[in-house]
Amino acid sequence: MIHARQALLAEGWARDVRLTLADGRIAGIETGAAPQAGDVRVDTLLPALANLHSHAFQRAMAGMAEERQEGRDSFWTWRALMYRFVGRLTPGQVEAIAAQVQLEMLEAGYAAVGEFHYLHHQPDGRPYDDIAEMSRRIFAAAQQSGIGLTHLPVLYSHGGAGRAPLGEGQRRFGNDIERFGVLLEAARAALGALPGDARLGVAPHSLRAVAPEDLAQLVAMQPAGPIHIHAAEQPQEVRDVEAWLGARPVAWLLDNAAVDGRWCLIHATHMTAAESRALAASGAVAGLCPITEANLGDGPFAGPAYVAAGGRFGLGSDSNVLISLTEELRLLEYSQRLRDLGRAVMVAGRGSVGAFLYAAAARGGAQALGRAAGIIAPGRLADLVAVDSTAPALCALPREKLLDGLVFAARDTVVTDVWSAGRHLVREGRHVRRDDILAAFRRAMRELTAD
Ligand code: ZN
């Protein structure tokens, strides 16, 4: 049982809320209820967000690629460094890094993660004896951290648009569609070790890395569950895809791939107004990763047209250069303000930006990960976050402005408790296994940087 002084329920704010949990779900909600002995008591309870896009291993290179080299640094020079780094990672290191990443996500207030998983093979490109070895390492990390996992094994067949061969730095990622089918089934079998809220989806990496006929076959392989794809992150990628397929990536997908509510288009940064409206109408989720998109110089998402058209979106931490829910929300809105020279941009119609952003990202993230979560209501997964509304950043605000305080004035330190499918993983702001997970991460980083 959880007792909250106040909670944001599906129908709005309520006081003195008592939640009964059963089998990872919300079984009952009482309002105006007194706390009882044995209840976990919290101040303000919110639906917890899902982090819809992560490449866990990239956390280990945070801060390593911020030095200017000769000429102009870009997404593509960052990617070259990432490939060199990737060549060294062992399965044990990947597990330790992923567990630390998931711990940081939970402490930031996320209950679940979509792991867009493309580091599959040995450094020379040969599969491990168990082709799903690296997927198993992600699952082992999720067992330690307790995070709700939607595993998205990635099909990555080509080094660039037009079926370019894989480069040396991409060997660990590569599969043709047949071998990917073997990997997917091995991952599906291994996923059974995780709690019942874990989900399996598929992720065609991008229209750079997957040819149209393979994309169609991949979707046929996985007739249910989430489908995630990187799309329109960089202008160069838009030009390359247009030159090859005759349409911009988002437009091509909408016209050729039966994009619907199962789909999540990661970034969708460079869209025309027509693409924004059409993506919104498809029911798919735009997977926005504001911190990474800023770090890599991708550009700001075209928010106003998309939000006005009722487009769905959620948040991801992608490169994991910094894992912070409040910073992610804040930068999403601030990137729009800086471009448009206006205020209060990411809201449909009138009203609180914080309330709109938070609720939309909660619903969109849950949809994208195939989790019955995103609102506090009976029958939903108990993906919950408690924040302390008496913290200095929030204490002066009426509850109608509390989410504006969270988005614009607070840090993740206001998070006190997090539950993922009922698993109480963060208490008093700390992950319950922080010491062990952190020690293993430090060991892995020492090994990795030894020479
Ligand atoms: Zn990504």
Q: Residue ranges of the domains in the chain?
A: 48-380
What separation in Å is there between the alpha carbon of 216 and the centre of ligand 1? 21
What separation in Å is there between the alpha carbon of 4 and the centre of ligand 1? 36
**What are 202-252's pLDDT values in tens digits?**
999 999 999 999 999 999 999 999 999 999 999 999 999 999 999 999 999
Give the pLDDT score at 107: 98
When pLDDT is cut at 50, 70 and 90, the band that residue 81 belongs to is confident
CB 171 within 8 A of CB 124: yes
Q: Is the pLDDT of residue 304 over 90?
A: yes
Residue 293: closest CA among 316, 259, 325: 316
What separation in Å is there between the alpha carbon of 374 and the centre of ligand 1? 22
Q: Is the pLDDT of residue 78 over 80?
A: no
What separation in Å is there between the alpha carbon of 169 and the centre of ligand 1? 16
**Residue 446 Ramachandran class (φ > 0 left, ψ -120 to 50 alpha, else beta):** alpha
Helix axes 91-108, 434-448, angle to 10 degrees: 140
In CATH terms, is domain 48-380 a member of 3.30.70.260? no
Among 60-74, 141-155, 325-339, the range scoring the smallest mean pLDDT is: 60-74
Give the pLDDT score at 70: 72
Give the pLDDT score at 47: 98
Beta bridge partners, 20, equal: 28
Give the pLDDT score at 74: 78
3-state DSSP call for residue 271? coil
Percent of the chain with pLDDT over 90: 92
Q: How many CB atoms lie within 10 A of CB 396?
A: 9
Phi (first) and psi of residue 268, to 5 degrees: 45, 40
CB 108 within 8 A of CB 324: yes
Catalytic residues: 267, 318
Residue 19: closest CA among 10, 9, 7, 29: 29
**What are 246-287's pLDDT values in tens digits?**
999 999 999 999 999 999 999 999 999 999 999 999 999 999
What separation in Å is there between the alpha carbon of 91 and the centre of ligand 1? 20
Distance (Å) of CA 367 to CA 31, 49, 90, 187, 442: 27, 11, 32, 22, 34
**What are 119-177's pLDDT values in tens digits?**
999 999 999 999 999 999 999 999 999 999 999 999 999 999 999 999 988 999 999 99
What separation in Å is there between the alpha carbon of 379 and the centre of ligand 1? 31
What separation in Å is there between the alpha carbon of 116 and the centre of ligand 1? 7
For residues 169 and 369, the model is more confident at 369
Percent of the chain with pLDDT over 70: 100
Structure tokens at 18: 């008592």
Concatenate the DSSP letters of all residues of 196-247 into one string.
Answer: TT-EE-BEE--TTTS-HHHHHHHHHH--SS-EEEEES-SHHHHHHHHHHHSS
Q: Is the pLDDT of residue 451 over 70?
A: no
Residue 97 identity (one-letter amino acid): I
When pLDDT is cut at 50, 70 and 90, the band that residue 403 belongs to is very high
What is d(CA 309, CA 282) in angstroms, rounded to the nearest whole number? 11
What is d(CA 161, CA 212) in angstroms, rounded to the nearest whole number? 11
The sign of the CA dihedral 361, 364, 367, 370 is negative
**What are 194-208's pLDDT values in tens digits?**
999 999 999 999 999
Q: Which residue has the tokens 């091509």?
A: 252
